[in-house]
Structure 1
Amino acid sequence: MDTQLTGRTALVTGASQGIGEAIARALHAEGVKVALLARSDKKLATIANDLGDGAFAIGGDVTDAESLCRSLATIEAKLGPIDIVVNNAGGLRSSTGGLFRPFEDVPDADWLETWEFNVLSVVRVVRALAPAMAERGWGRIINISSESGIQPDAVAIEYASAKSALNILTKGIAKTYANRGVLANVVSPAYVDTPIVRELLAQQEGAERLSRDELAAHFLPFLRPNIGVGRPGKPDDVAAAVVFLASEQASFITGTNLRVDGGSVMAI
């Protein structure tokens, strides 16, 4: 596929591992200059060094407005104007240590932090970058959501509701900028085999002495029984969808939710 992305500049947040790292690598392979942003700048530096020319690692916190502004200014001074932004940073916030908690056990502070991390962080990034993209007449905004934003579980409702809000936010952004050449879409993965997910699964009862592959086989039937293809997703599965939406092949697609879920979500 001719993506026509050579020479573009992308920002990938949450790029230090898992899905974010895979997205950064996939875009770089298409000739894109890639800024990798996360709080763990040591991991980022290793990835950027591995990628070589056109990769730039920078530490920053998307939940801190001042930190984010400094990071964006540094990126554009180094690589030039940002054409593509992939808002991948996100996840659950917990003050108790437990992540998959029932509704009644989640305090207000954790609701607020989870929404800050998954929704307001994206608002800040897009607000900072989209107007300049529109002035140049070309841009791609790709927000990484979750199947939970469409099909929530009985636990971690704060996360599911934040991802649902992210979906609606993306639709509104798409309507705001479509006539100025800036396209905005969502990619919604299901259960993806990443270091963070493996770490969480390894802490669950029954996970003792299970290998990486055994973890997936053990937990898939009751965590995500609806995944029709019978396996967890891979970070590269998500990265391929992001590259497509960033490319000229997707120039008539905006405001959509591309679900990379192996059939997990039951609705059309």
Structure 2
Amino acid sequence: MKIDLSGKLALVTGSAAGIGLATVKGLAGAGASVIVSSRHEANVRDAEAAVRKAVPGAQVQGFVGDLSNDAGCEALVKAHPRVDILVNNLGVFAQEDFFSIPDSEWLRFFETNVMSGVRLSRAYAGAMVKQGWGRIVFISSESGLNIPSDMIHYGMTKTAQIAVARGLAKRLAGTGVTVNSVLPGPTLSEGVEAMLKDEVAKTGQSIEEVAAAFVQQHRASSIIRRAASVDEVANMVVYACSQQASATTGAALRVDGGVVDTIA
């Protein structure tokens, strides 16, 4: 299968690192022009350079802004009024006990993880419908199905993303615009590496070994028995954005290594 996204413009939010950056590289490698975004200027510039290094000749632009609020989303849409592909990847996560999480954190997680995607999908879907083609992907998580007891506020937002993606897919039925969610399992992104860095220092093991031990302890149902790479997740996202995925919509596409113990 050769995925060709030449002539398409793709926006990936929260794409200065991790799954977001890997997705940008994958989309650029398939021929799409890409927009990377982050709150920090230096991170955007570094991401642009990383994409150009990975994909010589890539057409890449950057946007600097905070998409966890309405003003930031409006500024992005003003700067880039039309996209063909929208990947709602922006997200925050943290391990915290339910009884210690204040209202402000619940609201911050919801605004960042859910409302950023809602606002941008609302802004961009109309033009996609008019042209008869478009792709919207929400980067959810297996935690949206298998709510972690130590990240309940995070799991809540990931469930919400799955619901929004499914409902929006139905709302856009027959338009040529597909909407899906992608559900990674434990993934060796920079964020996970930061979470596990103390254990790496303590044990002297590699980050891959520590991540595998974490998966086996905290996600014992994992079939691959390790953390996925960001590229493994990005491969699914790129497929969902492709011409070939035209009959895939309203789906929750799992890249969870088998963590969610179900055949459906």
User: When the two structures are superposed, what TM-score results if normalisation uses the length of structure 2?
Assistant: 0.93
The Cα shift of 1:46 comes to 2.1
Distance 1:149 1:207, change over 3 A: farther
Q: 2:238, 2:215 → 1: CA distance?
A: 27
Q: 1:138, 1:41 → 2: CA distance?
A: 32
Q: 1:37, 1:223 → 2: CA distance?
A: 31
User: 1:1-268 alignment to 2 at 5 Å?
Assistant: 1-50=1-50, 51=52, 52-76=57-81, 81-92=82-93, 99-203=94-198, 207-267=202-262, 268=264
Aligned residues: 258
Q: 2:138, 2:224 → 1: CA distance?
A: 24
Task: Give 5+ residue unaligned stretches, structure 2.
Answer: none
Same amino acid, percent of matched pairs: 36
Q: Secondary structure at the match of 1:203?
A: helix
Quick check: 2:213–2:226 contact (8 Å CA) kept in 1? Answer: no
With 125-134 and 64-73 compared, the bigger mean Cα shift is at 64-73
The Cα shift of 1:2 comes to 2.6
Distance 1:58 1:199, change over 3 A: same
Q: 2:232, 2:208 → 1: CA distance?
A: 17
Distance 1:258 1:71, change over 3 A: same
Q: Secondary structure at the match of 1:196?
A: helix
Distance 1:240 1:127, change over 3 A: same
User: When the two structures are superposed, what TM-score results if normalisation uses the length of structure 1?
Assistant: 0.91
Quick check: 1:10–1:82 contact (8 Å CA) kept in 2? Answer: yes
Q: Secondary structure at the match of 2:187?
A: coil
The Cα shift of 1:75 comes to 2.7
Q: Secondary structure at the match of 2:173?
A: helix
Q: What letter corresponds to residue 90 of structure 1 in structure 2?
A: G
Q: 1:219, 1:163 → 2: CA distance?
A: 21
Q: 1:233, 1:82 → 2: CA distance?
A: 29
Quick check: 2:200–2:207 contact (8 Å CA) kept in 1? Answer: no
The Cα shift of 1:251 comes to 0.3
Distance 1:226 1:186, change over 3 A: same
Quick check: 1:207–1:215 contact (8 Å CA) kept in 2? Answer: no
The Cα shift of 1:205 comes to 9.5
Deviations 1:49-100 (A, max 9, x none): 3415411111121112122222222234xxxx300000000122xxxxxx31
Quick check: 2:216–2:226 contact (8 Å CA) kept in 1? Answer: no
With 151-160 and 15-24 compared, the bigger mean Cα shift is at 151-160
Q: What letter corresponds to residue 13 of structure 1 in structure 2?
A: T
Q: What letter corresponds to residue 84 of structure 2 in structure 1?
A: D
Quick check: 1:147–1:189 contact (8 Å CA) kept in 2? Answer: yes
Q: Secondary structure at the match of 1:178?
A: coil
Q: 2:64, 2:200 → 1: CA distance?
A: 35
Q: Secondary structure at the match of 2:68?
A: coil
Q: 1:69, 1:197 → 2: CA distance?
A: 30
Q: 1:206, 1:58 → 2: CA distance?
A: 35
Q: Secondary structure at the match of 1:232?
A: coil
Q: Secondary structure at the match of 2:2?
A: coil
Q: What letter corresponds to residue 59 of structure 1 in structure 2?
A: V
Q: 2:218, 2:40 → 1: CA distance?
A: 29
Quick check: 1:149–1:161 contact (8 Å CA) kept in 2? Answer: yes
Q: What letter corresponds to residue 212 of structure 2 in structure 1?
A: A
Deviations 1:204-229 (A, max 9, x none): 59845433223223322212222111
Distance 1:198 1:205, change over 3 A: closer
Q: 1:206, 1:106 → 2: CA distance?
A: 28
Task: Give 5+ residue unaligned stretches, structure 1.
Answer: 93-98
